[in-house]
Structure 1
Amino acid sequence: MQFSESWLRQFVNPPINTEELSHLLTMAGLEVEETRQVAPPFSSIVIAEILEATQHPDADRLRVCKVSVGDLSPEPLQIVCGAPNARPGIKIPCAMVGALLPPSEEGGKPFAIKVGKLRGVESRGMLCSGRELGLGDDHAGILELPLDAPVGANIREYLNLDDTIFTIKLTPNKADCLSVLGIAREVSALTGAPLELLDLLPIKETCSDTVKVEVIDEDLCGRFAGRVIKSVNAKAPTPSWMVRRLESAGQRSISALVDISNYVMLEVGQPTHVFDLQKITGDITVRWGKSDESVKLLNGQMIQLKDAGLPLGVVADSAGIESLAGVMGGDASAVTLETTDIYLESAFWWPSAIQGRARALNFSTDAAYRFERGVDPSSTVKYLNYLTQLILEICGGSAGPASDQVLSLPNRAPVELRVARVAKIVGVEITAQQIAEYFDRLGFAYARKQPGTPQEIFVVEPPAYRFDLSIEEDLIEEITRIYGFENIPEIAPQAALVVKSTNEKQRSIHHYRHALAAAGYQEVVNYGFIDQASEAQFAGNQEPVRVLNPIAEQFAVMRSNLLGSLLNNLKTNVSRKAARVRLFEVGRVFSKDAQVQDSETTTIGNRQTLMMGAIAYGSLFSEQWGQKGGNARPVDFFDVKADLENVLAPLTIRTVALKDHPAFHPGRAATIELQTIVNNKLTWQPVGVIGELHPKWQQTLELSSAPVMFEVELAAVSAIPLPSTSELSRFPAVKRDLAIVLKSTIAAGEVLSALKAAAPKLVTEIILFDDFRPTQERPGGMNLDEKSLAFRLTLENLEQTMQDQEVEQAISGILEKVLVQFSARLR
């Protein structure tokens, strides 16, 4: 956003200088990128009038001019000039003898004007072009000034060349500041200086002509206003003051009608469009364009609507499209210097209907930039009348009645602000009276609930031009901006240093990070966002927590497990020729849960769970001479399970077959269960999953072997039992092996757990050391659907040497329960 300081001070004129104004805007969030003077320094340049211009006797391209500078010289000055437009009667800038002109190049010295001779003719001064004064690049002729310019006046004062140009970098939410009036509202609120509004006069309707307009699609246009003006003088010159203001905003003057439309947009923020009425055929319709339609725009670009990739709104007549709604007008109905009758358009286009359209067509426009961020729908007719007023003043004509169709406008819900919340967020005690004063300066309508109490609440009605106010935090930001970010004191946090006792029964997140790193895994840190496809594929989540305004398509939803992120990391490494990868991550996952309430660390309806996950891919060992081919064996389920058991030790886990997880191989995945004691009873609590990647995802990701992954909820494994001591037996231990034949579908872990549950105190250890499955049936042997599990039991007695009878009794007691439970038999 670019504008001149004098233009801004027409609306609000606080008692501060340019530097203070720049600082004020920047600290309020409207970053001033640059301030510069309209023209570089120069002196002794005045307004002059050419009285005579005769041919130089010795040079075809030079003229000898007699120039009047008013009271500054009793006699006309004789100045030799080479400009082709030097002629009697025009008023131009004249550099007097002794004047200093800006240097012709950067870093050069000012150019001094002296009495000189050109081809033998004395010259007492210099007639200046715009480029020689630093007012642009035009040097084809002398800069011509309006005929009413006062002769002898200082040109810096006349053209206001001591004015300052502000260039402001706006954030996307500040659409209300895309106009000089919008900036003025901010300055008025920040300083308390009164805001001078436009002096809008009632429009005299001197003709009855109208154009019928039908708005077909209300999701495109919420309000449409228009007016006919006949017998305008399109050749009328744009007033110099308007040209200067347009130039200060980075716009060049084109023609009076176009300039006035641009001026209204820059001054009040309402883009408008001027149609040549005689080029409109029949009635106007406002609708979404059709794929088989095309239009030639004002920039000469031919647009095929089907190529845009997005639906485009159009303003059309019976002959075809006349403009792209909210983006750019069409060439077919463009105004020219020959135009006499015009139709003015002022509309509210829904931001969602304009967003991305200009970019899809590979250009940008000031109108689209404003409409896609939101334009005040309540001032559509007001600024149509302002546009009409300026056209009538400059170009003349007869104005017809204004038509106004209000179809659907934004529903701005009131926003509640808790006074106590302001101090908590800002860190400064701001009273309710101060808040009320700030809202008054901002022009916000509000009501107060429970005034004078700690529970006081402001209910604010957002103004129609503020599309960025929708939640409590938006209002707190407004309060903070007016209060002044620089007025918030820098207070270092203070806290008493209390050395807390170490909780030996609680493991920290860092323990597991170090343990996994020691096991050869490298830590990765990922966003909590992920693409929707990965979330559906690897979590089976069709209704994820969606990000309202994602920074990119691949971060559209919140992840509900770590597997998708780890697989993306793996794919990145494999694509860079990594053959062996070990990665882990400790991070949060997100899911919907209606039981979660709003608090300082939680958001209502959303659960955030801290998880630990890892992935292993490639060979079991790195290449080394001692493995003799062992490095070629891919890592498998049991390798990663062993890593997990070592990391979680002394906690005891088991794995239970899992078949329906979308990310895992249906026959090589398991639920991880943690052994816990509840009311002196052994139970198993699910805490995570582990398994090989599903073959179809392995193929999709183009992986040579299946990676093995696991994921564990950290809170469930953070509590560990305290170490305990036991007396060592002075008597020798007894070992017995048991081989049990049972159905092959029964998990070995279940049998092991049953043996431990049935074992008396004499049994100190039970391990599985063999799993045998027959390859063919033999008479009196095992069936193909059976397997043999061999267990080794260690028995100890602290008081005496164990007798065979005692050992057999303990073994019999165990077998009596286990064989019946699993319909098994001894081998």
Structure 2
Amino acid sequence: MKFSENWLRQHVAIEASRDQLAATLTAIGLEVEEVTPLGEGLEGVVVARIVAAEKHPQADRLQVCRVDAGLDAPLQIVCGAPNARVGLLAPLAMVGSRIGELTIEAAKLRGVESNGMLCSARELGLDSDGSGLMELPDDARPGTPLAEHLGLPDATFELKLTPNRADCFGIRGIAFDVAAACGGEVAADGIEPVAAQTDAALEVSLDAGADAPRYLGRVICEVDAARATPLWMAERLRRSGVRPVGFLVDVTQYVMLELGQPMHAFDRDRLQGPVGVRRARAGEALRLLDGREAVLDEGFLVITDADRAVALAGVMGGDDTRVGSATRNVFLEAAHFAPAAVIGRARRLGMQTDAAHRFERGVDPGLPRQALELATRLIMETAGGRPGPVVEAVLPEHLPQPRTIPLRRARLARVLGLEIADVEVGRILRALGLVVEADAGGWRVTTPARRFDLEIEEDLLEEIARIHGYDRIPATVPAGATRVAPAAEGLVAEAELRRQLVARDYLEAVNYAFVDAGLLARWDAGEGAVALANPLSAELGAMRTMLLPGLVDALARNAARQQPRVRLFEIGKVFASRASGIGNRESASAEAAAPVETARIAAVAAGAASAEQWGTEAREVDFHDLRGDLESLAACAGAVLEFRPSQRPYGHPGRSAEVFRDGRPAGWIGELHPRLLAGLGLDHRAVAFELDLAPLQRRALPVAEALTRFPSVRRDLAFVVPQQVPWAALDACIRDAAGPLLAGLRLFDRYQGKGVENGCKSLAIGLILQDKSRTLTDRDAEAVTERVIAALRDGYGASIRS
């Protein structure tokens, strides 16, 4: 919210300086992001009128102007502004004045004397427009100091408002908070009803239930819409970040900024009537004021003219009924729309408007009539016209009602930790515009309709605390003993897993939990995705079902910025409308209807396996590098992982695997599919894993055992198996056949080539055998070896290599 300091002070008289006002606003929760002084250093800048202009004899783009600055004789000024013309009133910096860092002096420009400088608004620091001289209204008097004429000095304040303070999207709303904090009093609004001077009216109706419970309209005839917006109004709009575009539109913008109530003006002659509010129909089209063609559905509200959609309710008007300088009869509307009926509608069309911003957060349902009366008076004062009666359609049962909230004196003292005098409590609440009645235990407080955020007693406590001053609340150390819960021995802490990956040269990434639904579809991970009802943008429209899409997207951004070696990991939650996707969802059943959350850990690596160095040969990271990193994580929990071939569409065929722990699925690891990488703009290999966090955190409690006194026996075998048989299957087969005497299994060689049949591979393993109660004999070792050979032969066609 951006506004003029002078405009605010017109509504609330306070003694605070500008700096004190800014500090107070921030202290009471209305954070001041920026304060921009206006009109400082304008000494010597006056209003001047160009009374003559001739082409410069030595320059095509310069004019020699004779300027009336209220002196005895006109001044000669050389000017290159394209809009310099006879009769124009503009600011003139006199000789000796300073504009920014420039001191104005008498000079010769191309041989012609110039005694001052005609200025643009940008040169004076009043606006961003530097396209020409700042044009002043015809009633300005030459020689008048510009600061006096424009109501300067002033300053623009820009507030960062929290969503619950919708009432502060208008000057009047801010004034109540300032009055309470600074000990002032909000001036009366001075809005009096304007009597009808004609019977001209349009019937209005409501057909959207609770979404639009109030709609008011008024016809004003014989308006001179070509009149220029008054300077005082135009300046207030500019200082609030709104550029004046035309008188009728400027009036509606002015009323919105002052009261917080959005309005719209229609050209009455383009309406047939009656005017109504209803739900849009599927496929209904509407051309908006910004020229775009919006295709609507039942989720939108529209304003209708004889059932023809002419405006998007709460968002933007339609192009067919827009007002302009030729408008003679105008129809003003002011309405109350429920926040739920407007939230997200503008963003669905890829736009955001001031009206939607306010209606989404909630607007006082009592403001439409005040706004209509104020706008009528402003129009008549400048452009004349004859107003008709105010026509209202209302559904009282759907309008928000004031709340009466009990506030206990004892509760106030207990929560804030200090005693605040009853008189001060009453002053604060009344200054905020609340109705206060004292009772035996405290107060009964009735909230105004504009304060949607005040619902319970705690809300009133917060109001008193922030206005009284958080800095005035004493800091008290909590009493009592604090119980420190020991970390569970059966779980590996997330911090330990983070440290392990960081030690292996990974950087932690933090990505949004919101992703583009199209990105999930590219990964074939859209099943069960939770769509957001009110997304921040179309690119953040769904909750992520995997960590890898966001992580790989971050990798692609790093690669696009010439980072040849990227290693990233993330620990976070994924979301699904049912138990689906990779990993083991132990906390949710397959029938769960509510969205479920699952903690995951994921990593991705691309580029060289090691950082650039002279000691090792450079090579690209591969599946086995990442598997080593993953097994180091599993080792933190003493877990043994099992890997089985995977067929996931985003994995490279033959180079990816499903990960299991204790026979239960835990996640996925592998090289990403080249087609997926090409779609993401990556032209080199990337390997990744993603697992549920729980299987990597769960560990058995340590149990002490005595070291065995008996030696181990090792038997080495080399056997030939078909190429397609994975080691994971052979590993499981060997362990099952060897039985309890197997203390260790080592795969120490893999060979293909001369002496090995095509389509086969030779694997050399070491069987480490040991018994805790006796020394094993050769016969024991041979029996285990024979069982292993038989199991491999029967199960996988393996043969001992000669």
Same fold (TM over 0.5): yes
- What secondary structure sits across from 1:384 in the alignment? helix
- What secondary structure sits across from 1:645 in the alignment? helix
- What secondary structure sits across from 1:376 in the alignment? coil
Matched, 1:184 2:169: no
> Could you tell me which residue of structure 2 aligns to residue 751 of structure 1?
733
Residue-by-residue CA offset, 1:493-547 (whole Å, 9 max, x unaligned): 9999999999988655455445445555555454444433344554735334566
> Could you tell me which residue of structure 2 aligns to residue 648 of structure 1?
634
Cα offset, 1:377, TM superposition: 3.4
Residue-by-residue CA offset, 1:766-790 (whole Å, 9 max, x unaligned): 4456889999999xxx9x9x99987
- What secondary structure sits across from 1:649 in the alignment? helix
One-letter amino acid of the structure 1 residue matched with residue 715 of structure 2: K
> Could you tell me which residue of structure 2 aligns to residue 540 of structure 1?
525
Matched, 1:672 2:659: yes
Closer, same or farther in 2 for the Cα pair 1:102/1:217, shift >3 Å?
Answer: farther
Contact 1:521 1:582 in 2 (8 A): yes
Q: How does 1:499-648 map to 2 (within 5 A)?
A: 508-509=493-494, 511-519=496-504, 521=506, 523-538=508-523, 540-544=525-529, 553-575=538-560, 582-590=567-575, 610-617=599-606, 635-636=622-623, 638-648=624-634
> Could you tell me which residue of structure 1 aligns to residue 715 of structure 2?
735
- What secondary structure sits across from 1:655 in the alignment? strand
> Could you tell me which residue of structure 2 aligns to residue 28 of structure 1?
28
Output the CA distance in 1 between the equivalents of 2:40 and 2:798: 103
Cα offset, 1:20, TM superposition: 3.6
> Could you tell me which residue of structure 1 aligns to residue 86 of structure 2?
none
Output the CA distance in 2 between the equivalents of 1:4 and 1:625: 65
Contact 1:102 1:134 in 2 (8 A): no
> Could you tell me which residue of structure 2 aligns to residue 89 of structure 1?
none
Matched, 1:169 2:156: no
Output the CA distance in 2 between the equivalents of 1:246 and 1:732: 89
Closer, same or farther in 2 for the Cα pair 1:409/1:255, shift >3 Å?
Answer: farther
> Could you tell me which residue of structure 2 aligns to residue 267 of structure 1?
258
Closer, same or farther in 2 for the Cα pair 1:695/1:800, shift >3 Å?
Answer: same
Closer, same or farther in 2 for the Cα pair 1:477/1:656, shift >3 Å?
Answer: farther
Output the CA distance in 1 between the equivalents of 2:609 and 2:664: 30
| Unpaired segments ≥5 residues, structure 2 | 47-65, 76-93, 106-118, 127-132, 580-584, 588-592
Cα offset, 1:11, TM superposition: 4.0
- What secondary structure sits across from 1:747 in the alignment? helix
Output the CA distance in 2 between the equivalents of 1:374 and 1:797: 76
Contact 2:16 2:182 in 1 (8 A): no
> Could you tell me which residue of structure 1 aligns to residue 331 of structure 2?
343
Contact 2:323 2:330 in 1 (8 A): no
Contact 1:310 1:357 in 2 (8 A): no
One-letter amino acid of the structure 1 residue matched with residue 644 of structure 2: A
- What secondary structure sits across from 1:377 in the alignment? coil
Contact 2:8 2:171 in 1 (8 A): yes
Cα offset, 1:824, TM superposition: 9.0
Closer, same or farther in 2 for the Cα pair 1:224/1:751, shift >3 Å?
Answer: same
- What secondary structure sits across from 2:366 in the alignment? helix
Output the CA distance in 2 between the equivalents of 1:799 and 1:184: 87
One-letter amino acid of the structure 2 residue matched with residue 34 of structure 1: V
Q: Percent sequence identity over matched residues?
A: 29
Closer, same or farther in 2 for the Cα pair 1:312/1:304, shift >3 Å?
Answer: farther
> Could you tell me which residue of structure 1 aligns to residue 116 of structure 2?
none
Cα offset, 1:349, TM superposition: 5.7
Output the CA distance in 2 between the equivalents of 1:261 and 1:140: 21
One-letter amino acid of the structure 2 residue matched with residue 689 of structure 1: W
- What secondary structure sits across from 1:182 in the alignment? helix
- TM-score under structure 2 length normalisation: 0.64
- What secondary structure sits across from 2:528 in the alignment? coil
Output the CA distance in 2 between the equivalents of 1:798 and 1:327: 83
Closer, same or farther in 2 for the Cα pair 1:494/1:278, shift >3 Å?
Answer: same
How large is the Cα RMSD of the aligned pairs? 6.7
Q: How does 1:143-162 map to 2 (within 5 A)?
A: 143-144=140-141
- TM-score under structure 1 length normalisation: 0.63
Q: How does 1:104-503 map to 2 (within 5 A)?
A: 105-106=99-100, 143-144=140-141, 164-171=154-161, 173=163, 174-191=165-182, 193-213=184-204, 223-230=214-221, 261=252, 263-274=254-265, 277=268, 280=271, 284=275, 303=291, 305=293, 327=316, 334=323, 339=328, 342-348=330-336, 370=358, 374-388=362-376, 399-406=387-394, 429=417, 441-443=431-433, 464-466=449-451, 478=463, 481-487=466-472
Contact 1:740 1:826 in 2 (8 A): yes
Partner residue of 1:793 out of 762, 767, 774: 767
One-letter amino acid of the structure 1 residue matched with residue 13 of structure 2: N
Output the CA distance in 1 between the equivalents of 2:125 and 2:678: 66
Closer, same or farther in 2 for the Cα pair 1:411/1:707, shift >3 Å?
Answer: farther
Output the CA distance in 2 between the equivalents of 1:306 and 1:186: 39
Output the CA distance in 2 between the equivalents of 1:313 and 1:720: 59
Cα offset, 1:380, TM superposition: 1.5
User: How many aligned residue pairs are there?
Assistant: 714
Output the CA distance in 2 between the equivalents of 1:140 and 1:238: 9
> Could you tell me which residue of structure 2 aligns to residue 657 of structure 1?
644
One-letter amino acid of the structure 1 residue matched with residue 35 of structure 2: E
